Amino acid sequence: MTPAFQCDISATGQMLNNPEMDKEVGKDLTAFQTWRDDNGFWSDFGYDGLSLVFDVPLTDLQTLPEAKKLALFRLLVYLADTPNDPLHARVQALATQPAEQRLVVLLDLSARFGG
């Protein structure tokens, strides 16, 4: 696990280790929502951005079927849209897990979104 993993969804810029991007994206869900709503997240990163947000291996993510990647993205959007949902605590608890195990649990959590 890298110290960059943050399940508040908003630290994408920090995960890129880019101070300018960090200022732009901010530290709250509103910033992610704005970036998403402007199609910035999707057009900048596509599904590969999920590896940044959830700190999972890009190679593992890229081997997933399209439906599972879409479900993970829907999970991300759901978390951004519902900041008070108890699901946030479950995702945040994954920060201490190895990346591979984190991906397995995230896939399980995202199954309800069509994966």
Report the C-alpha gap between 47 and 106 in whole angstroms: 14
- What pLDDT sits at residue 26? 35
CB neighbour list of residue 2: distance below 8 Å, 6 or more residues apart: 55
pLDDT for 17 beyond 60: no
Query: What ranges do the domains of the chain cover?
Result: 12-113
pLDDT for 7 beyond 50: no
Of the ranges 22-26, 45-49, 68-72, 100-104, which one carries the lowest mean pLDDT score? 22-26
Longest alpha-carbon distance in the chain: 35
Report the C-alpha gap between 35 and 25 in whole angstroms: 7
Query: Model confidence at 79, in pLDDT bands (50, 70, 90)?
Result: confident
Q: How many residues does the chain have?
A: 115
Phi, then psi, of 44 in degrees rounded to 5: -75, -40
Query: Model confidence at 29, in pLDDT bands (50, 70, 90)?
Result: low
The enclosing H or E element of 77 equals: helix 66-81
* Chain-centre distance for alpha carbon 34: 15
Taking only the tens place, the pLDDT of each residue in 39-72 is: 677 777 788 888 888 889 999 999 999 999 999 9
